[in-house]
Amino acid sequence: MNHPSRNVYNFNAGPSALPTAVLEKAQQELTNFNQSGMSVMELSHRSKTYEAVHNEAIDRLKKLYDIPNDYEVIFVQGGASLQFSMIPMNFLTKDTKAGYIMTGSWSEKAFKETALFGTGYKIASSKDDAYRHIPTVSAEDVNEDDAYVHLTTNNTIYGTQWQEYPDFGNVPVIADMSSDIMSKPIDVSKFDMIYAGAQKNLGPSGVTVVIIKKSLLEKANEQVPTILKYQTHVDSNSLYNTPPTFGIYMLGEVLKWIDMQGGLETIQKVNKEKATYIYDVIDESNGFYIGHADKASRSLMNITFRLKDEALEKQFLEEAAEKGFVGLNGHRSVGGCRASTYNAVPTEACLALSEFMKEFQAKHA
């Protein structure tokens, strides 16, 4: 339910909605965390009080994803954007190649960084289709000696999402899950590395989660600056330098909240229901609303659509803002409309948006 003091419907793409219960708990503990007399933001990151917060967040993440013992979980900074560089810096050489599956702006940015460290190639791309779909790929499309394959599991700008993950045999698979991490159960063992900025489904901006297989770590380059080595953060339990302590505290609280909702299977069920309310209006509008993504590639996290003309689209966004809908503008690079329905966006918000969309169509069709 919406809290009386939170009288907007937050559909921002990131930083995005956080669970009200988590924000309220953080508010209660803000000046005196765990009877320490200090805020969690004031605690030394070397203190036992903070260490408990830090380790509990890691343990909860491992539990929710049932992460196998041959993986490490670390927290780093710099967002997913730093990972675009760190990945080839650590795992690509001038003599190796890495394959990238191009599904949108973030995979484009990740691919661009490979040229600084080795050779990247495009396995497949849906750019010619305005990134409306997820390409079909398989082990036959990659080289057996590739350093890794990189994919982006959910594409915030274009509203597409992988429904099933391909098998690339023995080639390591690295996935940017920034915008759909913890939105559904996954088999972590299908990936050699998963990374995600926290500001969509896990907490505030400033924390990046990395789940990395130990066998991939063993292949890492040695000639890398210390703070940019994954092994550095593994060896120091993500405490090599001062971590974003408040962000990690909030991440841990969000993971607790996910657990309390019934875990990832329940979260996935609710996310499907929320997205269906909005997609149904689009599909039943007879072209008044035009979905961007092909139905087989639709995202449960980012619902992208346009109206039949730009003037009407502008009016739709203006009237939506007047009624308390926040963040419905599409990304500046593509325009249109976008409703980001991350875990913490309540069902009530999606229902309210679907009703508004019906009412707007009835007035302007």
Distance CA 8, CA 324 (A): 5
- Whether pTM exceeds 0.95: yes
- 46 Cβ contact list (under 8 Å, min separation 6): 239
**What is the CA angle 96-99-104, rounded to 5?**
145
Distance CA 338, CA 11 (A): 8
Phi (first) and psi of residue 128, to 5 degrees: -65, -20
Q: pLDDT digit of tens for each residue in the chain (365 aa)?
A: 344 446 899 999 999 999 999 999 999 999 999 999 999 999 999 999 999 999 999 999 999 999 999 999 999 999 999 999 999 999 999 889 999 999 999 999 999 999 999 999 999 999 999 999 999 999 999 999 999 999 999 999 999 999 999 999 999 999 999 999 999 999 999 999 999 999 999 999 999 999 999 999 999 999 999 999 999 999 999 999 999 999 999 999 999 999 999 999 999 999 999 999 999 999 999 999 999 999 999 999 999 999 989 999 999 999 999 999 999 999 988 889 999 999 999 999 999 999 999 999 999 98
In the prediction, which pLDDT does 94 show?
87
**What is the CA angle 222-227-231, rounded to 5?**
55
Query: Environment class of residue 175 by beta-carbon count within 10 Å: exposed (0-12), middle (13-18) or buried (19+)?
Result: buried
In the prediction, which pLDDT does 332 show?
87
Q: How many CA atoms within 13 Å lie on the side-chain side of 29? A: 18
In the prediction, which pLDDT does 4 show?
41
> Do the beta carbons of residue 113 and residue 164 sit within 8 Å?
no
In the prediction, which pLDDT does 21 show?
97
Plot region of 157 (φ>0 → left; ψ -120 to 50 → alpha; else → beta): alpha
List C-alpha distances in Å: 341 to 1, 13, 67.
Answer: 15, 8, 25
- CATH number corresponding to 24-260: 3.40.640.10
Please report, for the chain, the start and end positions of each structural domain, with discontinuous segments joined by +: 24-260, 262-364
Q: State which fold the 262-364 domain adopts.
A: Aspartate Aminotransferase, domain 1 (3.90.1150)
Active-site residue numbers?
106, 176, 200
> Do the beta carbons of residue 158 and residue 133 sit within 8 Å?
no
What letters, b where the CB count within 10 A reaches 16 and e where it falls short, cover 68-102? eeebbbbbbbebbebbbbbbbbbbbeeebbbbbbb
**What is the CA angle 301-134-354, rounded to 5?**
30
Percentage helix, strand, coil, to 5, in the chain? 40, 15, 45
Nearest to 91, CA basis, from 72, 117, 116, 122: 117
SS3 330: coil
List C-alpha distances in Å: 234 to 121, 158, 237, 280.
Answer: 29, 34, 5, 45
Identify the helix (H) or strand (E) that includes residue 290: strand 289-291
